[in-house]
Amino acid sequence: MAYSAVVYALDLSPPMADLIFDAGSKASKLSLAQEYIARMCEPKIQSGRKSEHVGLVSFGGRTHNQAHSAWVDEHGDDDAPYTSISSDVAIQSAKPKMLEVLMNLEVGEDEGNPVGALMVALDMIEQHKHTKRWSIEIRLVTDGESGFVQEEYEDAMTRLDVLGVKLIVVGIGFDDPACPIDKTKSKAKRLSEKFWRAFVKGLHERMSRTTDSELFLPRLLVFQPELEEARRPHPATTEGTVSGIHLYIGAAGVDPDAAISIPMQYSKATMKARPPSLSKTWKTAVDVQAPTRGTEASQILSQIESQGAPASAISGKINRHMLYYICKAEAPAPSQISVSATQSQRIEDDADFILPGQTQTQTQTQSQTEAEEELVEKEDLVKAWRFGSSLIPVEADTFEPLPTQKGIEVLGFIPQAHVRKYMLIGEVRYLWPDLGSSRAQIQFSAFVSALFTTGLVAITRFVTRDNAEPALGVAIPQIDYLGDDKRLDLMYWIRLPFADDEHKFWFPSLDKYVSTTGKEITEHPYIPTREQCGLMDELVAGMDLDAVPPPGELPDSEDEEGFGTWFSSARAVNPTIHRLKEAILHASLNVPLGPPHPEITQYFNTPAETVERIEKVSERLKDALDIKKVPPRQRRQAGNETLADNEGFLDIDNLFGAGSSNVVKDEPASPAKKTEADVKAKVEDEKKKTELKSEPVSPVKARPKPGRLVSNESPLEDYRRLVQGEGDMFRKAITDLAAVVRENVAASFSRQAFPLALECLEAMRATALTFEEVETYNAAVDELEQAVKAQGFKHPDFWDHFEKAGSRVARISEDEAEAALEEEEYD
């Protein structure tokens, strides 16, 4: 397992607030740098591995580092080193909290010193507990627009070389190191680029004396290509778990002298990747009202909740708990009871259906539910196998399992050509000899060479542990030449289907047609002609993806890693997994989710070059095969879809009098018959009344906390409904909304709840001025200030946003209150 620690140094100097072009829009350099660091940390946070540590240093903003604090404690503030440098996140396992700290960083007021930031980062690395197995890296992101003192660059070089720290400088707006510096840039930026080129070159010469690996040597990179690379979907590199096993050739029980046992190791070569699991839930500030449960279930759940996290936690791990009940069958109804009486009795017994005029208490309902269900312990359950329409219970120890021994037993050999491709199912495993046994390596290498030269594969029985279920598989030899006379011998093991796993499907020949009389027909619409076969071959050849280069590459360019074709399994990422990762990252950073990366949707459509190449042959093939567009399906009664003005109404007299045509119905005496227009007007009137009475179906509304009228999910909508409704509810509405604002700000991830909180305060202030609740609003603001400035509050910077909002949310003065009162009296 690889151990790594990366410290990110971020420039917060004032020029970082400038806007630059990015993906067709403009964004500040600081926001793009924050996105870059967040995307670099996202895989480490998703993996959750404790072997990957990260840290964060910023320069150009506030001053918070150990070297500066030690100097101030001893010498005072005079000539204190490393000012405007902050150690924001100590080196530790990657956690979402780091992203919150990163995204909350703002542009500072001073010009930061990147060399001083390197010294502070090196101090953090020296204090971090690690061994020589760790790979340490510092990644500095700056735009180079600020001037800085360069007197400590020699000390920084020496410390980087001694500690073996890899330095990567990512310059925003820098030119490629192989190209000359653009002279139209500002003087400070030109000097900064020259300094970093010389710094990286000198450090490279120093460190190359002890190592020639590019993995440990410093580099100077351009920011924009690095950001585009960070935005690309990157498959997670997973190291397979290595397990030990023996390979048996021959039967030791039959001929021990001829049997061979080779100690082996195996690991998974492929495994189905799954999207991130939703193993945790988010608890909002609203109390969730659980439904009524039985006595046993309520006691068990209350016990689980008492052992869980504190009530103040906003997230927690979900543990599934299962309860088993036996539903008692109801007594059969007597034969003399009619069907209607039986149904009525069932309706009366059901707690969800209560007849009019009847009442039923919650205690009675709960007692009836407990009487119908019986709690059963899991230890008392026995599995049963279905045999026809019966269930046969079988105890766990009724049958002895098949005696199997852990290992890979070779059953025999067959030519590799006899293994049909459709038989290879399941996951693929690597097989290689025990690296600690030279004898095993020689035996295995000879075994692989014999199979490879003869073109045979081994049919094996794979058992992962004693008495486990055996699996039938094929071991395919593989010899890889790594260069410099180095050869790697290994095997791939793939599961084969048993006879019970294989499904047969037979279909007639595609080039031979026999009539019902047994006569062979050579020309038939079902038999393809030579012209049709030739056009189909031309279509298949035109859709060859090997001739299509990857997106963004020229047709003549060849990639050293074998990415020279449009399709490559190494670049074919799972769209579901990576789109969900993008959604999780954007949700955690409170940024709107944009369109997916082009590489995620690359295989959604055929390449444009291929479509253009086969356009003509496709048209010819359509004519040859007589392919026509399927006409749309016609509805049977298409003529009745549009009704006339006098249609769509039921005539009750005609409906019930249609069966008795001989009966003459007397018309009632009336001053005049209702005309067709009168009937239509009456129906339209009834229709309008129905539309007025009906209300649209709305989703389930959020429930406020007990004793409140304003919910935490939709506080502003609930507040406006109270203020605009009937009754004097202004004071209650302001008090409840103030409590909700405090809770939502305290439970907010990052600053996503700040805008809504300020909008709520603005609405409260307007209500207080209009309805003479000035004291209520001022008291609410005082309580909010005390809560925010209290020690331990999660977001103390909310009060800075409150003060920036100004008069929109400020306390109401006496002059404002009197002016509002006079204006109301004047109106």
- Measured in residues, the chain has a length of 827
Please state, in angstroms and rounded to a whole number, the distance separating the CA atoms of residues 59 and 84: 6
- What pLDDT, on the 0 to 100 scale, is given for residue 279? 63
Please state, in angstroms and rounded to a whole number, the distance separating the CA atoms of residues 623 and 614: 14
* Closest C-alpha among 293, 285, 257, 234 to residue 40: 234
In terms of DSSP H, where are the helices of 590-631? 608-613, 615-625
Task: Write out the two tokens for 66.
Answer: 């150990």
The yes-or-no verdict on residue 344 having pLDDT over 60 is no
Cβ atoms of 663 and 654 within 8 Å: the answer is: no
Cβ atoms of 99 and 35 within 8 Å: the answer is: no
Please state, in angstroms and rounded to a whole number, the distance separating the CA atoms of residues 453 and 456: 8
- What pLDDT, on the 0 to 100 scale, is given for residue 348? 39
* Closest C-alpha among 209, 228, 208 to residue 217: 208
| Dihedral angle, C-alpha 401, 403, 405, 408, nearest 10 ° | -90
- What pLDDT, on the 0 to 100 scale, is given for residue 556? 55
- What pLDDT, on the 0 to 100 scale, is given for residue 761? 92
- What pLDDT, on the 0 to 100 scale, is given for residue 372? 74
Using pLDDT thresholds of 50, 70 and 90, give the confidence band for residue 263: very high
My answer on whether 35 and 144 are in the same domain is: yes
**For range 820-827, the mean pLDDT:** 64
pLDDT, one tens digit per residue, over 94-144 is 888 888 899 999 999 989 899 999 999 999 999 888 888 889 999 999 999
The yes-or-no verdict on residue 358 having pLDDT over 70 is no
**For range 297-303, the mean pLDDT:** 45
- What pLDDT, on the 0 to 100 scale, is given for residue 139? 96
**For range 544-567, the mean pLDDT:** 68
- Half-sphere exposure of residue 482, counting CA atoms within 13 Å on the CB side? 4
Q: Which residues pair with 524 in a beta bridge?
A: none
Amino acid at the residue 459 = I
Please state, in angstroms and rounded to a whole number, the distance separating the CA atoms of residues 753 and 782: 20
My answer on whether 58 and 200 are in the same domain is: yes
My answer on whether 78 and 216 are in the same domain is: yes
N- to C-terminal Cα distance for the chain?
Answer: 77
- What pLDDT, on the 0 to 100 scale, is given for residue 179? 92
User: CB neighbours (10 Å) of residue 578?
Assistant: 20
Please state, in angstroms and rounded to a whole number, the distance separating the CA atoms of residues 222 and 225: 6
Question: Count of domains in the chain?
Answer: 3
The yes-or-no verdict on residue 492 having pLDDT over 90 is yes
Using pLDDT thresholds of 50, 70 and 90, give the confidence band for residue 552: low
My answer on whether 744 and 601 are in the same domain is: no
Sequence-separated contacts (24+) of 763-769 with Cβ below 8 Å = 763/716, 763/719, 763/720, 763/737, 764/719, 764/734, 764/737, 764/738, 765/808, 765/809, 765/810, 765/812, 767/723, 767/730, 767/733, 767/734, 768/730, 768/734, 768/812, 769/812, 769/816, 769/817, 769/820
3-state secondary structure of 30: helix
My answer on whether 744 and 613 are in the same domain is: no
- What pLDDT, on the 0 to 100 scale, is given for residue 121? 94
Beta-strand relationship, 315-317 and 324-327:
unpaired
Please state, in angstroms and rounded to a whole number, the distance separating the CA atoms of residues 102 and 39: 12
**For range 295-310, the mean pLDDT:** 44
The yes-or-no verdict on residue 626 having pLDDT over 80 is yes
Is the residue at 61 inside a domain? yes
My answer on whether 579 and 721 are in the same domain is: no
The yes-or-no verdict on residue 827 having pLDDT over 70 is no
Among the three residues 559, 593, 625, which one is the final residue of a domain in this structure? 625
Orientation of helix 114-127 relative to helix 66-75, angle to 10°: 100
Sequence-separated contacts (24+) of 683-691 with Cβ below 8 Å = 683/649
Is the residue at 588 inside a domain? yes
Is the residue at 760 inside a domain? yes
- What pLDDT, on the 0 to 100 scale, is given for residue 252? 74
Is the residue at 423 inside a domain? no
Ramachandran angles phi, psi of 645, nearest 5°: -65, -35
Please state, in angstroms and rounded to a whole number, the distance separating the CA atoms of residues 33 and 223: 9
Beta-strand relationship, 52-59 and 85-93:
antiparallel
Please state, in angstroms and rounded to a whole number, the distance separating the CA atoms of residues 33 and 172: 8
**For range 398-416, the mean pLDDT:** 89
Among the three residues 231, 261, 280, which one is the final residue of a domain in this structure? 231
- What pLDDT, on the 0 to 100 scale, is given for residue 588? 66
Identify the residue whose tokens are 């439904």: 291
| Neighbouring residues of 671: CB distance < 8 A, sequence distance ≥ 6 | none
My answer on whether 608 and 722 are in the same domain is: no
The residue ranking higher by pLDDT, 635 or 623, is 623
The yes-or-no verdict on residue 347 having pLDDT over 50 is no
pLDDT, one tens digit per residue, over 499-518 is 888 887 777 777 777 777 87
My answer on whether 618 and 720 are in the same domain is: no
Q: Which residues pair with 501 in a beta bridge?
A: none
**For range 42-55, the mean pLDDT:** 88
Instruction: Lowest mean pLDDT of 220-224, 327-331, 478-482, 791-795, name the range.
Output: 327-331
Cβ atoms of 430 and 271 within 8 Å: the answer is: no
- What pLDDT, on the 0 to 100 scale, is given for residue 8? 96
Please state, in angstroms and rounded to a whole number, the distance separating the CA atoms of residues 410 and 458: 6
Using pLDDT thresholds of 50, 70 and 90, give the confidence band for residue 317: low
My answer on whether 47 and 190 are in the same domain is: yes
**For range 560-581, the mean pLDDT:** 76
Cβ atoms of 788 and 795 within 8 Å: the answer is: yes
Q: Give percent above pLDDT 70 in the chain.
A: 78
Cβ atoms of 245 and 266 within 8 Å: the answer is: yes
The yes-or-no verdict on residue 369 having pLDDT over 70 is no
**CATH value at residue 585:** 1.10.1600.10
- What pLDDT, on the 0 to 100 scale, is given for residue 223? 95
* Closest C-alpha among 469, 618, 595, 480 to residue 540: 618
The residue ranking higher by pLDDT, 545 or 644, is 545
**For range 426-436, the mean pLDDT:** 91
Which burial class, exposed, middle or buried, applies to 160 when counting CB atoms under 10 A from its CB (0-12, 13-18, 19+)? buried
Find the domain containing 537 and state its range. Answer: 531-625
**For range 187-206, the mean pLDDT:** 93
Which parts of 49-110 are beta strand (E)? 52-59, 85-93
Amino acid at the residue 88 = D
Instruction: Lowest mean pLDDT of 1-15, 35-49, 162-176, 676-690, name the range.
Output: 676-690
Q: Give percent above pLDDT 90 in the chain.
A: 33
Sequence-separated contacts (24+) of 278-282 with Cβ below 8 Å = 279/317, 279/318, 280/315, 280/316, 280/317, 280/318, 281/315, 281/316, 281/318, 282/314, 282/315
Is the residue at 147 inside a domain? yes
My answer on whether 79 and 194 are in the same domain is: yes
Cβ atoms of 266 and 493 within 8 Å: the answer is: yes
- What pLDDT, on the 0 to 100 scale, is given for residue 288? 41
The yes-or-no verdict on residue 254 having pLDDT over 50 is yes
Most confident of 210-219, 274-283, 355-364, 584-593: 210-219
- What pLDDT, on the 0 to 100 scale, is given for residue 664? 44
Among the three residues 197, 231, 265, which one is the final residue of a domain in this structure? 231
Using pLDDT thresholds of 50, 70 and 90, give the confidence band for residue 685: low
Please state, in angstroms and rounded to a whole number, the distance separating the CA atoms of residues 117 and 12: 11
Is the residue at 474 inside a domain? no
- What pLDDT, on the 0 to 100 scale, is given for residue 50? 86
**For range 670-686, the mean pLDDT:** 49
- What pLDDT, on the 0 to 100 scale, is given for residue 340? 40
Using pLDDT thresholds of 50, 70 and 90, give the confidence band for residue 329: low
Is the residue at 456 inside a domain? no
My answer on whether 62 and 208 are in the same domain is: yes
Please state, in angstroms and rounded to a whole number, the distance separating the CA atoms of residues 720 and 733: 9
- What pLDDT, on the 0 to 100 scale, is given for residue 677? 52
- The H-or-E segment that residue 481 falls in is strand 471-483
Task: Write out the two tokens for 325.
Answer: 């009940």
Q: What is the mean pLDDT of the chain?
A: 79
State the Cα angle at 418 between 414 and 424, rounded to 5°: 100
Is the residue at 251 inside a domain? no
My answer on whether 614 and 720 are in the same domain is: no
Cβ atoms of 55 and 91 within 8 Å: the answer is: yes
Using pLDDT thresholds of 50, 70 and 90, give the confidence band for residue 533: very high
